[in-house]
Amino acid sequence: MSAVSPELRVFLETHIPLIEEELFAFLPLQEPEEFMYRPMRDYPERGGKRSRPALVLLSCAAMGGDVRKAVRTAAAFEMFQSFALLHDDIEDDSEMRRGKPCSHRLHGVPLSINVGDALYAKVYEVLAANRQILDCETTLSLIKEMINGSRETFEGQAYDVGWIRGHIVPSEDEFMTMLRKKTGWYTGRGPCTAGAIIAGASAESRQAIGDFGEAMAIAFQIRDDLLNLMTSEGDAVTAPGITSGAYGKERGGDIAEGKRTLIIIDLLRKCTTAQRTEILDVLHAHRDDTTQEQIERVISLAHEHGAIAYAEQESRRRWEEAVRLLEVLPETPQRQLLREMLDFFVHRAF
């Protein structure tokens, strides 16, 4: 497991509480408390790595900006994360999130959809409130970035969900397009670009740090898909923390949900015809009809045919790309913190 350096740990433990304070200030408990406002606080209160808001601050610092002016925008990205996870859990019919049952399994689908919608609206309330600390042009730039990034995220999700519904196995190139859209923006490019905007960085610098963020996010997501198959059952009930590598989701959940991951795509092009039929039968079955034995069988085949090793190799390749892109930026102590964040984010728990 990649260890967190003392410098990065101090930065996170100093600034994450400030982000959380800002986040919950925009999530007051009021009526209808039981059916809306309390569930809106649920996912943020469960913890999490807070990596996306941390990237906003680290990128702002790396571009020479005032980190204090980036805290509110960082909170907006964590708000977006909670919204995205809540809707993603519904669409995937997931079971566990951050060590507890998913929102829709606690409150039902209709109420949870409404809670997710409310969180998404809050994202823009938070960003608009930047007018109190930033100039109007910067505030508008941040809102535009969130709008464009939201569209990218939703387009990526459309592919992800549509492939499952249509029983489609995408090519590796098609999968990478989906990953760039769904994860590349809101996990990496968006937070890094937002930090650079707040710092007043040039368009060229915004592009450079955004490219770094996207490469990092893709490396992270491939690693996260690996973790889904390699985590222990005990990790499913342990929520991830700021500097911990806990997983907080069920082992093999991606297989039960029929997810098209790089591991599955590579496995299907390497396995025998009979094994391909067996794997697709598992992927296309409803998750309630999928046994843990079937999931473990697919995981075993992924190891046997080298699909796990291939995904690990691709995650590392994207990590190396992110390292190269980061080195384009001016060499500063803050850039080093971004490098350490990259290492922890991608290599956690391995």
What is residue 47's predicted lDDT score, i.e. its pLDDT?
Answer: 86
Mean pLDDT along residues 83-107: 92
What is residue 37's predicted lDDT score, i.e. its pLDDT?
Answer: 96
What is residue 184's predicted lDDT score, i.e. its pLDDT?
Answer: 95
pLDDT at 234 over 90: no
Mean pLDDT along residues 256-274: 96
In CATH, the number for domain 6-347 is 1.10.600.10
pLDDT tens digits, one per residue of 9-67: 999 999 999 999 999 999 999 999 999 999 999 999 998 889 999 999 999 999 999 99
Mean pLDDT along residues 82-92: 94
**Around 162, how many Cα atoms within 13 Å sit in the side-chain half-sphere?**
10
pLDDT tens digits, one per residue of 158-204: 999 999 999 999 999 999 999 999 999 999 999 999 999 999 999 99
Mean pLDDT along residues 281-297: 93
Can you give the residue ranges of every domain in the chain?
Answer: 6-347
How high does pLDDT run on average in the chain? Answer: 92
pLDDT at 126 over 70: yes
